[in-house]
Chain A
Amino acid sequence: DGGITQSPKYLFRKEGQNVTLSCEQNLNHDAMYWYRQDPGQGLRLIYYSQIVNDFQKGDIAEGYSVSREKKESFPLTVTSAQKNPTAFYLCASSTRTSSSTDTQYFGPGTRLTVL
């Protein structure tokens, strides 16, 4: 089945630790995205990538890092510099990168809790 997978579903982290969230897609999409969702809020863009080996900061990139070494994969690292990392993290992908009709499809999300 084609889709987007995120792992793990739940993640617990101690303060001061870095942690990496996985996102994989087999939709042959060029663009991938990471969003953060806090309770009662909409999604905020952390990072996005339009092509392999390239990515751009979103609205709340501080304390996060990404890599895009393969088209299928876009892991997100939450560093110890992120002051309030407890949130729900959603990964998305889309086919085209220069059209307003381009639709983003989402994975099931990872819920990160800092202990």
Chain B
Amino acid sequence: AQKITQTQPGMFVQEKEAVTLDCTYDTSDQSYGLFWYKQPSSGEMIFLIYQGSYDEQNATEGRYSLNFQKARKSANLVISASQLGDSAMYFCAMREGAGNNRLAFGKGNQVVVIP
């Protein structure tokens, strides 16, 4: 079964507008971590933001915020005030349990920011 689901088609967003990228996950563990990475056309994976399963507050990092809804098992990424440099693939990933190094990745969301 897929642990991370990202099913949105490619998205076009106007510069300076906000965009929300959906991510749902599947786990039976109580302790887990959720990550978002950005992959521009150059290929490098850039870490954006982290949310722990026990964190009561939604994570924020600059223009990135995570809308964490634990009961619904969703961890949507919100990018505010989109910039042209935000055009990239965005991947949601999960680490389950403690003592586990393995990250499970979704298939990604494509975002294109238009001026």
> Chain A: residues with CB nearer than 8 A to chain B?
31, 33, 40-45, 48, 50, 58, 88, 90, 92, 94, 97-109, 111
Residues on A with C-beta less than 8 A from B42 are 108
Contacts of A48 in B (CB 8 A): 101-102
* CB contacts between A and B, total, < 8 Å: 69
- 20 new A-B contacts, CB < 8 A, other than A98-B98, A102-B101, A108-B42, are A40-B107, A41-B107, A41-B108, A42-B4, A42-B93, A42-B107, A42-B108, A43-B45, A43-B105, A44-B105, A94-B101, A97-B101, A100-B31, A100-B95, A100-B97, A100-B98, A104-B103, A107-B44, A108-B44, A109-B44
The contact sample of 27 A-B pairs, CB cut-off 8 A, is A31-B101, A40-B107, A41-B108, A42-B106, A43-B105, A44-B105, A45-B102, A58-B102, A88-B43, A94-B101, A97-B101, A98-B98, A100-B31, A100-B52, A100-B96, A101-B52, A102-B95, A103-B35, A103-B47, A104-B35, A104-B47, A106-B44, A106-B45, A106-B46, A108-B42, A108-B43, A109-B43
